[in-house]
Structure 1
Amino acid sequence: MSNDISKLEPTALWENFHALTQIPRPSNHEEKIQDFVYNFGLSLGLETVKDEVGNIIIRKPATPGFEDRKGVILQAHLDMVPQKNSDKTHDFENDPIETLIDGDWVKANGTTLGADNGIGAAAAMAVLASKSVEHGPVEALFTATEETGMDGAEGLEAGLLQGEILLNMDSEDEGELYVGCAGGEDVSVTFDYKKKEMSKNYIGGRLSVTGLKGGHSGMDIILQRANANKLFFRVLSRAFEKHQVRLVSIEGGSLRNAIPREAFGVVAVKKKKWDKVCALVSSLEQIIKQEFALTDPDIRIELVPENVIEKVIDKKTQLRLTEAVLACPNGVIRMSDSMPGLVETSSNMAVVKSDKKKKTVSIYFLMRSSVDSVKVNLGQRIKALFSLAGAKVKFSGSYQGWNPNMDSPILKTMQGIFEAKYGKLPQIKAIHAGLECGILGGTYPHWDMISFGPTIRFPHSPDEKVNVPSVAKFWDFLLETLKSIPVKEETEGGAEDAVE
């Protein structure tokens, strides 16, 4: 079977998505993709603007007969999460994504695919380029650096956009309309340590935790998958308790919004204890594999010799670090009372990384909650724990959630379209992830907003894939929605009465 995704239906969308996969666009390295989309707008002869934070806005006039419709903003983010398998060679800043067609799914070869949110961006581009799609005034808003802080949404200035309805195309289940999302906040923890020499009766070892599924820290946190950082320190704790194994360095996870799939560390082991430590690690691996047999069946925990043995982290810091990591709340903290099956609050211990030059160990979390006061309380808990352990704790990047509006006019319009087209009502949901709607709605409070998209599985991980038939349904639904946007409301009293 051919792996040319540009030939998939609808070709107008897939051709654009293929083009996006060929341009590197990891978060914080988006210059190439921003230039591409900016020039795309200019090539169509459309008004195109790039703001100070890297957002691209492209305006397209209404098709004949639709000039009186409310203005629509088609919104998607341009950046993607750069994750790859440890055995895959790929430079996200320079290499294109290698796409594969696997039955009804499109995926990438050992890396994230970028369907999150490339499919939404491709759909907006297809509308802009089309000469047959019927629509009122359209503005396409391509936001910057969504995945690592929603910088584009945060930096968008009021007054730049003229539309009244925002269609966010960043949801990941076809047939569902999203009307709310969680807010979030970053937590950064820093331990200072002292370097200590080890006696010659110690040898080096490389302790690794691999094979985990990982995933999106909002969408997939409910799946109860293992956290590689938590497992690493669980093993280290037992190894120290039984055999005085010392920590030299640690590097686990890579992104705040991705559940960590791998963790690697260098440890110092007494020569005469090496076989016993290896046996302990093997035993713990089997126990942990049984615990996560359904959610993470491919966990591997290994200890192999490491030729280079350096100074170790002082014992006091190692113990405080280990105990704090083990005790820290992680994963699902609370389920929603108002929407059964929805996670209300969660914490993702995303990254643990030591720095030999600075003599620090840093831990990075992303907290999420649809209830702001609960998010604040979770932050207090994390801060209290790590402060007691002697670490410094900082908070940053707080963003608000999106409160559902069940009386939303665009919600009612899209419900009616979906029922007429497919013979059933779409599911109405909120999401335990950070959609840009919450931030954008703060800047443009008059917007009527909804989020929808095709079916995407395992975003933020190399297992990411998008369902091809769902993309076709998403596209058809988008076109019918644009065609059905209501007319603008007349100003009360008429135009003449509005001017004194």
Structure 2
Amino acid sequence: MRVLENLEPKNVFYFFEEISRIPRPSYKEEKISNYLVNFAKERNLEVYQDDLKNVIIIKEATKGYEDVEPIILQGHMDMVCEKEPDCTINFENDPLTLEIEGDYITAKGTTLGGDDGIAVAYALAILDSDTIEHPRLEVVITVSEEVGMDGANGIDLSMLKGKKVLNLDSEEEGHMLASCAGGCTTVCRLPLAFEKKSGELFEIHISGLLGGHSGGEIDKERANSNLLMGRFFLRLSEKTPFAIAELAGGTKDNAIPRETTAKIMLDAGKEDLLMQEIAAYQEILTAEYQSSDKDIKVRAKALGCGEERVTTAEDAGKMTMLLTHLPAGIQRMSMDIKGLVETSLNLGILYLEEDAAVLKYSVRSSVKTQKELLVQKLKSLTEWLGGSISIYGDYPAWEYKKDSKLRDDMVAVYERMYGKKPSVEAIHAGLECGLLSAKIPGMDAVSIGPDMIDIHTTGEKLSISSTKRVWEYVLEVLKCK
């Protein structure tokens, strides 16, 4: 029996459960991409699949809508793959384990992939129907959205006729998005000198953070475990020299990291000092983050004495300086839209290579020059310490369109159905609409979606009732002439 079998709308949740059984991490979308192609072929629909594994499916208009302007339904097939420490799921091979908790769907021990699996499920349910009225539908499902929007950047849309884009990659019902920030991933690489050395080894583990989406939750000032580790290094350096053997935290540059682990070496006889510092640091973080991350834990475990390959004390200091002095979090709020974050960055991934430290940042801004300034700041300090940076996945902001027939139609439909106006907003998170606008001259776009909670975390939830309401709303929007 299917877990979601008794939920309405049946076809939407049928396809959501179907795709939840198919592994679809970013850069590993071949299985879900082939599923979409086979879906289209089985229904004799026009379908395109490119080398990146993006998929476009086209269905002609139903009777009475032949002369209505086509509409593009758009979302992405990849998902952020996060799991709890004790979860054994292999995201490249195993299905998700769906569960129902009241009005919400979750996945046991992992992210749910509602971002953006629900867009795919909506699109497939519409394409599968013989009774839904609609103009020509052009369904665009991209790859690698979560790691730099590579799919949207590389996709060929020359076969499309429509200019109206209904992006289904938002997470708050009743909130229509009409603009978003641009961004990029910036990788800072700091060469480190290592040496064989003897001393006392300790594992430092920071965990229990809430995490979240670095665009959607950055304004909540949640703790970043990578930054907290750097801060601990700074505290410790004032009391005693230390060297770093291992360091790793976070798995996605656009997800606020929830845990970071370090293996460090101290001179013999420093265990009591370390444990005192750990206890003091725990008290500080508990007090500072009681509202946002009340379950933060800082732990140290003695690993005994021995010889280990570690950084020099000097380069441990450089690493500490980089972690504590590079910009982080919100940098600037919008001067035009109250409450909107304009510019921010997130240190999402931190690890050591054979001879260097690597720090991966998600940089965002709705102002191009501010995004460039932030990258320049990362570059200047990293290079001053002897490192270098590289940039990839650069995508433009989606600028607000003053006159939008699609938006006007959608607002009117919403008012008619619910007796109130929807909220029309700009967001700090990135959407593919910015890249698509460069490929579709005159594009008119709106982004919507059902209620989701804590996307990009293992606490991700998709509202069942909201999914149903947004489905009914989308069907009414498709009837607009």
- Normalised to the residue count of structure 2, the TM-score between the two structures is 0.98
SS at match of 1:254: coil
Match of 1:247 among 232, 244, 248: 244
Report the Cα distance in structure 2 between the residues aligned to 1:127 and 1:185, rounded to whole angstroms: 33
Aligned pairs for 1:40-51 within 5 A: 40-51=39-50
**What is aligned with 1:476?**
472
Give the C-alpha shift of residue 158 in structure 1. Answer: 4.2
Give the C-alpha shift of residue 52 in structure 1. Answer: 2.5
Task: Indicate if the aligned counterparts of 2:452 and 2:462 stay in contact, CA closer than 8 A.
Answer: yes
**What is aligned with 1:131?**
130
Structure 1 unmatched runs, 5+: 487-500
**What is aligned with 1:220?**
217
Match of 1:284 among 281, 284, 293: 281
**What is aligned with 2:344?**
346
**What is aligned with 1:10?**
9
Task: Indicate if the aligned counterparts of 1:169 and 1:453 stay in contact, CA closer than 8 A.
Answer: yes
Match of 1:409 among 380, 405, 412: 405
SS at match of 2:362: strand
SS at match of 1:481: helix
SS at match of 2:270: helix
Q: Structure 2: which amino acid aligns with 1:72?
A: I
**What is aligned with 2:459?**
463
Aligned pairs for 1:140-151 within 5 A: 140-151=139-150
**What is aligned with 1:171?**
170
Give the C-alpha shift of residue 118 in structure 1. Answer: 0.2
Could you list the per-position Cα deviations for residues 300-350 of structure 1 after superposition, in whole angstroms to 9, with x for gaps in the alignment?
Answer: 111102367521111222111101210111111111111111111100011
Aligned pairs for 1:72-151 within 5 A: 72-151=71-150
Aligned pairs for 1:40-439 within 5 A: 40-199=39-198, 202-306=199-303, 310-356=308-354, 359-439=355-435
SS at match of 2:145: coil
Question: Larger deviation: 304-313 or 206-215?
Answer: 304-313
Q: Structure 2: which amino acid aligns with 1:218?
A: G
Q: Structure 1: which amino acid aligns with 2:99?
A: L
Report the Cα distance in structure 1 between the residues aligned to 2:456 and 2:307, rounded to whole angstroms: 34
**What is aligned with 1:28?**
27
Could you list the per-position Cα deviations for residues 227-281 of structure 1 after superposition, in whole angstroms to 9, with x for gaps in the alignment?
Answer: 1000011112222221223211101111111111111111112331112201211
Over 3 Å counting, the alpha-carbon distance change for 1:309 and 1:456 in structure 2 is farther
Give the C-alpha shift of residue 447 in structure 1. Answer: 1.9
SS at match of 1:226: coil
Task: Indicate if the aligned counterparts of 2:171 and 2:451 stay in contact, CA closer than 8 A.
Answer: yes
Report the Cα distance in structure 1 between the residues aligned to 2:86 and 2:267, rounded to whole angstroms: 30
SS at match of 1:6: coil
Aligned identity (percent) is 37
Give the C-alpha shift of residue 405 in structure 1. Answer: 1.0
SS at match of 1:7: coil
Q: Structure 2: which amino acid aligns with 1:68?
A: D
Report the Cα distance in structure 2 between the residues aligned to 1:230 and 1:289, rounded to whole angstroms: 15
Give the C-alpha shift of residue 90 in structure 1. Answer: 1.4
**What is aligned with 1:495?**
none
SS at match of 2:364: strand
Task: Indicate if the aligned counterparts of 1:164 and 1:446 stay in contact, CA closer than 8 A.
Answer: yes
Could you list the per-position Cα deviations for residues 102-161 of structure 1 after superposition, in whole angstroms to 9, with x for gaps in the alignment?
Answer: 111111111100000000110000000011111011111111111111111001124121
Task: Indicate if the aligned counterparts of 1:3 and 1:99 stay in contact, CA closer than 8 A.
Answer: no
Could you list the per-position Cα deviations for residues 446-478 of structure 1 after superposition, in whole angstroms to 9, with x for gaps in the alignment?
Answer: 221110000111111111111111101110110
Report the Cα distance in structure 1 between the residues aligned to 2:5 and 2:330, rounded to whole angstroms: 39
SS at match of 1:45: coil
Task: Indicate if the aligned counterparts of 1:268 and 1:309 stay in contact, CA closer than 8 A.
Answer: no
Report the Cα distance in structure 1 between the residues aligned to 2:303 and 2:433, rounded to whole angstroms: 48
Task: Indicate if the aligned counterparts of 1:3 and 1:101 stay in contact, CA closer than 8 A.
Answer: no
Report the Cα distance in structure 2 between the residues aligned to 1:61 and 1:3, rounded to whole angstroms: 32
Aligned Cα root-mean-square deviation (Å): 1.3
Could you list the per-position Cα deviations for residues 266-297 of structure 1 after superposition, in whole angstroms to 9, with x for gaps in the alignment?
Answer: 11123311122012112101111110000001
Task: Indicate if the aligned counterparts of 1:249 and 1:266 stay in contact, CA closer than 8 A.
Answer: yes
Structure 2 unmatched runs, 5+: none
Task: Indicate if the aligned counterparts of 1:456 and 1:464 stay in contact, CA closer than 8 A.
Answer: yes
Task: Indicate if the aligned counterparts of 2:242 and 2:313 stay in contact, CA closer than 8 A.
Answer: no
Report the Cα distance in structure 2 between the residues aligned to 1:468 and 1:149, rounded to whole angstroms: 29
SS at match of 2:197: coil
SS at match of 2:269: helix
**What is aligned with 1:496?**
none
Q: Structure 1: which amino acid aligns with 2:254?
A: N
Report the Cα distance in structure 2 between the residues aligned to 1:444 and 1:52, rounded to whole angstroms: 21
Report the Cα distance in structure 2 between the residues aligned to 1:55 and 1:189, rounded to whole angstroms: 30
Question: Larger deviation: 292-301 or 244-253?
Answer: 244-253
Report the Cα distance in structure 1 between the residues aligned to 2:381 and 2:125, rounded to whole angstroms: 50
Task: Indicate if the aligned counterparts of 2:103 and 2:463 stay in contact, CA closer than 8 A.
Answer: yes
Task: Indicate if the aligned counterparts of 1:191 and 1:317 stay in contact, CA closer than 8 A.
Answer: no
Q: Structure 2: which amino acid aligns with 1:277?
A: L
Report the Cα distance in structure 2 between the residues aligned to 1:116 and 1:6, rounded to whole angstroms: 21
- Normalised to the residue count of structure 1, the TM-score between the two structures is 0.94
Task: Indicate if the aligned counterparts of 1:369 and 1:375 stay in contact, CA closer than 8 A.
Answer: yes
**What is aligned with 1:489?**
none
